[in-house]
Structure 1
Amino acid sequence: MCRKIWYSALIVCFCKILFISPVKAEEQFVVEIEKGISIFVSPDSTSTILTVTSQKSNWTILHTSPNYFEVSNGEIQGYVKTKESHVLFPETVKKFEVYAASVPYYILKNGKLLEKGNIFPGVAWKRDGQTDEYHIIHVGNQLVYVPIEGTMPTSLEVNASAPRKAVIPTTLLAENHLPVFSPEGERLGTYPRSYPVAINGIDGEYAIVNFIGREAKVPFNLLYSKDLFQGAQTVSHSEMSFYTQVIHAMYPEFTELKQIGLSLEGRAIYALKIGKGKKEVLFDAALHAREHMTTNVLLEMMDSYSIHYRNNASWAGYKPREVLDKVAIWFVPMMNPDGVTLVQGGMKAVKNGELARKINGGSTNFARWKSNVRGVDLNNNFDSEWSALNVSAKKPAYHLYKGPKAFSEPESQALRDFINSRDFLSNMSYHTSGQVIYWFNWQKGSDLNRDVGLAGKVSRLTGYRVLDPMYLIGSGSSADWFIQEKKRPALTIEISPFVGDRPVPTSYWPAIWKQNHKVGMFIATEAASR
């Protein structure tokens, strides 16, 4: 529906351009009219002809419209077809505007001019030079060529700001002819269908772009991606936030974005739903700081599933649209953003860096860090008989400190409250490392059979080993709390071969994704039967 509204709006814009009333020029500009051209009494070729030019001559423009100029030579005032006249651009003229419905613009590549889009009327453009047929605009190291035909000198101000630089370079594709607007909402032009659009930032439902050297915006929901995210990289909190927001902004018809809480230092914790299913399952990741490779797993699922949902295409033996319109998946890609930022960026990247250094025994190497930024292990902070949990750390530490009380931390509170606000049928909590699956928290009877069966199926899907029950008296694990409170299955999935007290190297990514790419589709399909 959103896309149809934008297309309708674009059609209306074109109609307004084609049938606008003539606009009076604020300064007098001149057209050159060849010999034998008719001057009409009104902007209509069937109207009375006032005169036919006897020689090439210059006429002053009084008013403009896409198809006719109102002109005067001092004695006769009438209308001439724009295509039968030539607007003069003295070298001193440094600005132009479009009077036609639109004009294309080009870049020079391999000696040929390639059309890149269109420019609309009503906006002034600064030109840096001209040829016989084109205005030339310098955009960085590139030259942009705009045909002189269809344009005229202007007294309008060039109201444009320099484009911002992309913090996270990303290129998306125009789904159809893509309208481009100024930051204030003026129509600037269009990009053609399938045009690769470089995204410099996010402004709500708009993507910030560089349109011929000026900052502009385009509707996100008229863009799409063939491969937004590449998993073999270290993903920061800001990058995770960007990708999550972009996926939602591109596909608002079948996604939902929530900020479910804030970290101790105020970083947003996001949840993204994909699909329209009334039933729902939950995937979360990076509850432990050094385990941020799990964020990559969820982001790649979000990207792959949404692309194939949009295209209504089969993927890895599943039909994502059919699956997710029965059971939607909620993804929380980074539960511990402060801890992840500390591990990736060091103590100067967080507000509580000095506290973290002291907790870390004075070391500024935080590669082993699992806790949140003040030394609470979030996966020991959930209340599954938390008071009986006996862990080695009795005070803030890089891992294993369970906190002063259950749910003492804003991050664990956020996940608890989000889970309690929904009716999730399953929870998959991604961790590293060891290629094992935890599933048990004192289930009995049919629940026991259901959950061990589900763990076995995920084991066969991933190749990971199902661990035997540990019969812990107390636990602070998020998955154990889910099992206890919701009486539904929750798996803790440990990706990657065991790597010790450090983040999983990005070189492990191809194997990790191969093992886990189907898990979301499988879990949603399984939940549909319950």
Structure 2
Amino acid sequence: MKRKWGPLIAAGMLCFSFSGSPADAALVDIAGNTHEKAIKQLYEQDIIGGYSDGTYKPDANITRSQVVRLLGRFIVGQGYEIPEDALTDDRFEDVPIKSDEELLQLSALLYEEGIFQGASGYLNPNNKMQRQHMAVVIVRMMHDVFGRDLIADYKHRGFKTSITDIHKAIDNEKQEAITALEYAGITMVKQFNPTDTVTRGQFASFLVRALQVAQIEKEPDLPSESNRQKKESSSLADKQEISSEGLENKTEAEQAEVQAPVQSSEQQVAEIPVKGEGSQIPETEDEKVEQEVDFSKVKSASIVAGTPLYASRNMKNQVGVWQNESFVVPITYLADKHLVIVSAGGKKYYVAPDAVIPAAEESVPGKSTVLGAVRTEQAFQIVDAPNGKAILTGNRVTKLQVVEITDKYYKVKLGQKDGYIAVSQTYINTRKNIKLTEATAFSAEGKAAGELAAGAVIKASGFDGAHYKITVSGKTYTFPRQAVVETDEASGLTTVVPSKYPEVITAQADTTVKLSTGKVVGTIKANTTIELKNITASAGIIEFLGGAGYVDLGDFTHTDIVNPAKNVTHLEMEYQLKVFSLLYPEFTELKAIGKSVEGRPIYALRVGNGKKEILMDASMHAREYMTTNVLMEMIDQYSYHYIRGSKFGSYQVKNVLDQTSIWFIPMMNPDGVTLVQNGLNAVANKDVVRKINGSSNVARWKANIRGVDLNRNFDATWSSIILTPPYNVPAFKNYKGIAPFSEPESQALRDFVLAKPFKSYITYHSSGQIIYWGYDSMSNHTRNYNLVKSVANVTGYSVVPPNPKKPTAASESWFTKVKKMPAMTVEIAKYSNEGPVSFSQWDDVWRRNQTVGLIGATEASKR
């Protein structure tokens, strides 16, 4: 006689997006389906339901959360109770409190009853159910709900699987479960396809077969036979209908067998052992006395050694044994079930009252800060001291709350006393964040790289049994397992947002790494070379174990920041100047001395600590942007040798720049340079520029963005310049503007020069490999000529004789006029009239000009 399970929690058990289906309604999409009979049977017994449109969708994959709902509702119908704390204590990390209430309750039930254990604390509810996992869940249900230990039974009988691909199951547990299903006749396929997903129809067939096996009567054990005879006489498949899952892979004979009627449960079949029903207390005088205790008033007690510990109030799933009667612990009494709850390490255990000895005094739990959690191995024990005696032993993975770590042991609270579990009996789920409870050294690619600070929270990517690892951008970091716990705290390591200009830097000493909040997360060892990902106004940003770490760049040095043989844009120059100023605050200073027409900052960087100062600038003319590279490479080289106290050329750089500082303005005309490098779309006033230029080809452009030639806008014989067409109006070159210093760029240089006691000025232009110098009465001044001659000697450039009668309004002329100090214009590279200088000339340019700044500084130090 078939058992009718009757109504359970809800009318539908397998489908969850429905309004309900009448009991006598038919599912409209199962006719002719391989699994029609099984679906119909479960539907008629109210174990499953359909969608609101009357469909069942038998070929759709079933998810893990749907299986949880199905089996959870089913075992509730068998009398199991939902854990009393299901809505306040989540069992799975990815089914949090305040989420789906039913899923929270049923997943808690299945977890405590040992049917759904998850993967290291994760249910993965939205994942499709794999066949190998389905096998495990069904075998556990048979064991825990019906007391049928299929695995023990097939091993006892020496049953051997005939499934050819069982090796594809990921571990021994899955292989044993699949074999148990085959032994019981719940599956009869030759290829099980362990990693394939389970459809809704397939699961219905599996469940029907399992419920049929659960109804079969026991019989005495069978005598020993050959393996084949054992299989023929003991396999439950010989006593019942073959499973309908996977029918499409069966022979015609097998398909016919699927349609065969299920035989009566009164038939004699192989014995399937029945599991014990939990702790059954005998009716004794001792029991009668025990039950006279008013447990509602008992707050603390000791537990009799050898007492079974159960996972829930259902008292079905034994998960441990209490081993030590000397401990007094707080207890909670469940009056409605006449059960007692004890707690160890934040985990609740249920015991029968006859195992509880009320304590004379109340045990009040000591207040301790929970550091985080660890997970035990399958078998573990909590002891009363490191290397001490057992308090309790457990037989399933358990999450424990840790209050301290000492001597390779985690400390957990058991009332007023402490319990200890060896680190070797635990692991950390690397899907959770990891918190370090003490400073811990870490390595990069096998070499010591630094230390993680106590309290640091990070995200690990793996664990090899001894070390945790983090792999970022192809680089692997490792640190030892001790002194870590799982935590719900956020790491605080924000995502790295890299700049377009990554640089390589090297730590000069052990260097602190912080979060954006200022919290210290670790240190980097001296001489460690890392990539600078980005900067803030005051710090460098590196990639630290997968997130953004903030460091004081003053603790680092560079090797080679500037790539001078390519375009240096205004944005790249701006970034690199900021990097230099953060790397070397002890001998650099960065100032924005003004803004261009379109608002781009004009930067000046000081290199050196000398009280005497000189000035150098570049890119006054837009198409001459290669001069920016000359100054940027000087900054790179001079700072490199300054910090190391080494020579550059024949100059001891630190000695020179401790006497005379150099102020570099690498880009005087940022709008014009941006236009020439990136085209009309890169500037705001592109329509005006196109009209001024008379063409879309802006490669020849020299002026600022308003069509004013900045090197004709200074107040040095400005009024003598005669305007002739086409340069009497804004143009791509030569237009002097409506007045001296009419432009914000020339104003910025003017104000900066007037504010500083500069000893000399060198401005870089291109092209022609010549040097202009001299103005009015200063034209033949000896010290001016001495500087020019020194520069000419190292560059090999020709010196153009001064011509006081020719008006220029150039910056070099104006500087000499107002400062009465040497100034010159250096024209680099071979002559080019209609466009930028080719970078093919870079080596020659740099070879000739690399020490010009040091020459100027040295000459100025003498004055």
Give the match for residue 440 of structure 2. Answer: 102
Structure 1 residue 35 displacement after superposition:
10
- Of residues 707, 710, 733, the one that matches 1:378 is 710
> Contact 1:390/1:474 (CA < 8 Å) preserved in 2?
no
> Contact 2:469/2:476 (CA < 8 Å) preserved in 1?
yes
Stretches (4+) displaced over 4 A: 30-38, 54-62, 65-70, 90-93, 140-144
Structure 1 residue 140 displacement after superposition:
4.7
Give the match for residue 52 of structure 1. Answer: 388
Q: SS at 2:427's partner residue? A: coil
Structure 1 residue 171 displacement after superposition:
1.3
Structure 2 Cα separation of the partners of residues 365 and 175 of structure 1: 48
Cα-to-partner distance string for 1:491-523 (whole Å, 9 max, x where unaligned): 000011112221111121111111011111111
User: Structure 1 342/449 Cα, relative in aligned 2: closer, same or farther at 3 Å?
Assistant: same
Structure 1 residue 191 displacement after superposition:
2.0
Give the match for residue 581 of structure 2. Answer: 248
Percent identity, please. 36
- Of residues 482, 497, 508, the one that matches 1:149 is 482
User: Structure 1 99/422 Cα, relative in aligned 2: closer, same or farther at 3 Å?
Assistant: same
User: Structure 1 87/333 Cα, relative in aligned 2: closer, same or farther at 3 Å?
Assistant: farther
Structure 1 residue 31 displacement after superposition:
7.1
User: Structure 1 420/141 Cα, relative in aligned 2: closer, same or farther at 3 Å?
Assistant: same
Q: SS at 1:492's partner residue? A: strand
Q: SS at 2:385's partner residue? A: strand
Give the match for residue 722 of structure 2. Answer: 390
Structure 1 residue 129 displacement after superposition:
3.5
> Contact 1:284/1:332 (CA < 8 Å) preserved in 2?
yes
Give the match for residue 408 of structure 1. Answer: 742
Structure 1 residue 443 displacement after superposition:
2.5
Superposed CA RMSD = 2.8
Give the match for residue 467 of structure 1. Answer: 800
Structure 2 Cα separation of the partners of residues 334 and 67 of structure 1: 61
1:229 pairs with 2:554: no
Structure 1 Cα separation of the partners of residues 821 and 852 of structure 2: 17
Structure 1 residue 482 displacement after superposition:
0.6
Structure 1 residue 134 displacement after superposition:
2.8
Cα-to-partner distance string for 1:177-231 (whole Å, 9 max, x where unaligned): 2211111112122222222221222102211222122122111111111222121
Structure 1 residue 72 displacement after superposition:
4.4
> Contact 1:133/1:148 (CA < 8 Å) preserved in 2?
yes
Give the match for residue 700 of structure 2. Answer: 368
1:439 pairs with 2:773: yes
- Of residues 470, 495, 513, the one that matches 1:180 is 513
User: Structure 1 483/90 Cα, relative in aligned 2: closer, same or farther at 3 Å?
Assistant: closer
> Contact 2:509/2:527 (CA < 8 Å) preserved in 1?
yes
Range moving further from structure 2, 184-193 or 55-64: 55-64
Structure 1 residue 23 displacement after superposition:
7.5
Give the match for residue 417 of structure 2. Answer: 77
Give the match for residue 404 of structure 2. Answer: 64
Cα-to-partner distance string for 1:354-389 (whole Å, 9 max, x where unaligned): 11111110x221111110011000000001021111
Q: SS at 2:786's partner residue? A: helix
Give the match for residue 206 of structure 1. Answer: 539
Structure 1 Cα separation of the partners of residues 635 and 614 of structure 2: 14
Cα-to-partner distance string for 1:150-196 (whole Å, 9 max, x where unaligned): 32222323444321133112111111222111111121222222222
Structure 2 Cα separation of the partners of residues 444 and 98 of structure 1: 70
Give the match for residue 670 of structure 2. Answer: 337
Structure 1 residue 90 displacement after superposition:
5.5
**Looking at both structures, which has the greater relative contact order when contacts are Cα pairs under 8 Å and sequence separation is at least 6?**
1
Report matched runs for 1:33-48 at 5 Å.
39=385
Give the match for residue 213 of structure 2. Answer: none
User: Structure 1 456/23 Cα, relative in aligned 2: closer, same or farther at 3 Å?
Assistant: farther
> Contact 1:123/1:156 (CA < 8 Å) preserved in 2?
no
User: Structure 1 314/276 Cα, relative in aligned 2: closer, same or farther at 3 Å?
Assistant: same
Cα-to-partner distance string for 1:411-469 (whole Å, 9 max, x where unaligned): 00000000000010100011000000001212358x62322232122111210000112
> Contact 1:35/1:53 (CA < 8 Å) preserved in 2?
no
Structure 1 Cα separation of the partners of residues 788 and 650 of structure 2: 20
Give the match for residue 571 of structure 2. Answer: 238
Q: SS at 1:52's partner residue? A: coil
Between structure 1 and structure 2, the one with the greater Rg is 2
Amino acid at match of 1:383: D
Amino acid at match of 2:630: V
- TM-score, length-scaled by structure 1: 0.85
User: Structure 1 518/28 Cα, relative in aligned 2: closer, same or farther at 3 Å?
Assistant: closer
> Contact 1:338/1:373 (CA < 8 Å) preserved in 2?
yes
Q: SS at 2:647's partner residue? A: coil
- Of residues 504, 507, 516, the one that matches 1:171 is 504
Give the match for residue 819 of structure 2. Answer: 486
Structure 2 Cα separation of the partners of residues 274 and 450 of structure 1: 23
Cα-to-partner distance string for 1:249-305 (whole Å, 9 max, x where unaligned): 101011111110000000010111111111111001110001111111111111111
Give the match for residue 135 of structure 1. Answer: 468
Q: SS at 2:734's partner residue? A: coil
Give the match for residue 423 of structure 1. Answer: 757
> Contact 1:381/1:407 (CA < 8 Å) preserved in 2?
yes
Amino acid at match of 2:609: K
Q: SS at 1:425's partner residue? A: coil
Between structures 1 and 2, the one with greater strand share: 1
Unaligned runs of 5+ in 1: 1-21, 41-50, 108-112
User: Structure 1 153/501 Cα, relative in aligned 2: closer, same or farther at 3 Å?
Assistant: same
Structure 2 Cα separation of the partners of residues 198 and 143 of structure 1: 15
- TM-score, length-scaled by structure 2: 0.54
Amino acid at match of 1:357: R
Q: SS at 2:439's partner residue? A: coil
